[in-house]
Structure 1
């Protein structure tokens, strides 16, 4: 048994594709297939079966997947704890973030990181992506996590996670009753959007432009300064919106709001770790940067 077999298997299941798993792992597809075959040989049963478009998990594969996730999480947790014991970091960690990572991802990640480094002082600034980029450029904060690429050659911007925007509507909205709708069906709706300068707003504009629809065609009823305000307005029946899945997962599950599914519209967007090109990271930030990348892989659902 090899730990890399487990990591590869988990990725194949979550990506539903050997090809996509190979891309993430920077391996060839034959190498990934070989690891999968080795794992299936170890267990003596098929763990996946291939369809024309993806791979599906067998009942045995589901059992193995659940155990693999727990094993990998335990290994990662033990590594972090041992490293923390060996080198308890101290000092200040000054980080900025746009709304989605700042409100829905980083608080838990920072709390866990700080639990391993008890002498660490953490400060998180939350603003829109444009303001966070400016704060990093000006040296007010050392690094930031934002939801859009900023046109600034002074910044190093690394993709660390793929987020997804979803289209939300009030409970009972007619379009939520349909299995799939056309993008043009949304044009006549009242929209509630984030303010100009927010990463979410910029991504929405870009995605719609790619489909030949400008924001000028939309009936933008409200522009609000926070994602939570946008979601509350939608729940109150004032219109529809596009927001990160992180912001609405619980409300959708509780039935407070509903999703609209649009045919042939990809709403993925990246989350980026930004720093200045001309400044090396402090040991504290360097350590958190590596911790955060592992945290996003291990603790955030795909």
Structure 2
């Protein structure tokens, strides 16, 4: 079987058209059509239905697509395994991380890792958890680092760190002289939220709901990034509950202030997610061990 034809078939499916697949593969559209025809001849059936200028997978095409992805992954993995044996592999690891980890935690960790593995090179993607997991599923990254637990039997999931979410105010806020506040005092202030469906926001809302405080909160605004929230809090537009790792610098230099809430805490684990594979690159093994050693 021609692996190249299967790769092209999957690319056509993923891109939704032969012309896009041809353009991304730097070949002509007739060359793509020829490869698809070869597969259709091999299986004795059409892999795409063509109606009104639109192309969709046939039933046979849907079945082949799932097998083709597995075959391509096995081909890539076997090649990497042989390269490791021959000593010709590239010392590179591809990591995907959710925003809090990728922007605030990972840079320092990569610096510490590189001190002991100077030959290693990294490529980093940052995005929300569904986006990062899609990269992992498509084998575009080796390791995903995310803020929410993943329940999928196809993945190996391990905790590598823990963080807590804390209440932050401007440095000169009226609560600055208090050792702590009561949870019901939160309703006296306007709260600045992350956007809906943010993992951080979901945790905060869950905790406030348990204290029957969520409906009593006065919403100031919703912002799409932690950096914009920190700036808004500094400008005294409201208060917020944010991951500690994202405000360490602001707390150190008295830009923001942590205010403790009596008998109220939000903790969360940070997770390593990997595909269950027969073979792992040595770079992936070393980085996984490094992350585990920091717990």
TM-score, scaled relative to structure 1: 0.62
Name the CA distance, whole Å, in 2 between partners of 1:103 and 1:88: 32
1:252-274 Cα offsets, whole Å, 9 max, x none, are: 22221112211111221111111
Matched, 1:244 2:239: no
- Say which one has the larger Rg: 2
- Name the structure 2 match of 1:265: 264
Alignment correspondent of 2:166: 166
What are structure 2's unaligned runs of at least 5 residues? Answer: 1-86
2:126 corresponds to:
126
Q: Secondary structure at the match of 1:252?
A: helix
Give CA deviations for 1:117-147 in whole Å, capped at 9, x if unaligned: 3433211111123332333233332211112
User: CA shift at 1:289, angstroms?
Assistant: 0.6
| Separation in structure 1 between the aligned mates of residue 256 and residue 271 of structure 2, nearest angstrom | 28
Conservation of the 8 A alpha-carbon contact between 1:146 and 1:199:
no
SS state of the match for residue 92, structure 2?
A: strand
> Deviation string for 1:153-206 (max 9, x for gaps)?
443321111111110011222233322212111124211122233332222223
SS at match of 1:160: strand
Kindly report which structure 2 residues correspond to 1:40-79, keeping only aligned pairs within 5 A, or say none.
Answer: none
C-alpha contact 1:89 1:120 (8 A) present in aligned 2: no
Q: Counterpart in 2 of 1:33? A: none
Does residue 189 of structure 2 align to residue 197 of structure 1?
no
- 2:117 counterpart of 1:117: yes
d(CA) in 1 for partners of 2:222, 2:174 = 23
For 1:204-257, what per-residue CA distance to the aligned partner results, in whole angstroms no more than 9, with x for missing partners?
22322333343x543332222221221111111111111121221221222211
Equivalents in 2 of 1:89, 1:213: separation in Å? 55
Report 1:205-220 matches (<5 A).
205-214=205-214, 216-220=215-219
Separation (CA, whole Å) in 2 of partners of 1:134 and 1:274: 12
Tell me which residue corresponds to 1:142. Answer: 142
Counterpart-to-counterpart distance in 2, 1:88 and 1:278: 21
Q: Per the alignment, in what secondary structure is the counterpart of residue 289 of structure 1?
A: helix
Aligned match of 1:227: 226
DSSP-derived class of the 1:112 partner: helix
Shift of residue 291, structure 1, vs aligned partner: 1.1
Structure 1 pair 191/150, CA: closer, same or farther in 2 (3 Å)? farther
Q: Aligned-residue CA RMSD in angstroms?
A: 2.5
Which residue of 2 is the match for residue 283 of structure 1? 282
Matched with 1:184 is 184
TM-score, normalised with respect to structure 2: 0.63
Contact conserved, 1:104 with 1:247, CA < 8 A, in 2?
A: yes
Write the distance in 2 (CA, Å) between the matches of 1:173 and 1:144. 38
Q: Which runs of 5+ in 1 are unaligned?
A: 1-86, 298-302
* CA distance 1:230–1:111, change in 2 (3 Å): same
Aligned partners of 2:291, 2:89: CA distance in 1, in Å? 15
Work out the CA distance in 1 between the residues paired with 2:240 and 2:183: 13
- Which residue in 1 is equivalent to 2:73? none
- In 2, the alpha carbon distance for the partners of 1:267 and 1:227 equals 17
Runs of 4+ in 1 over 4 A off after TM superposition: none
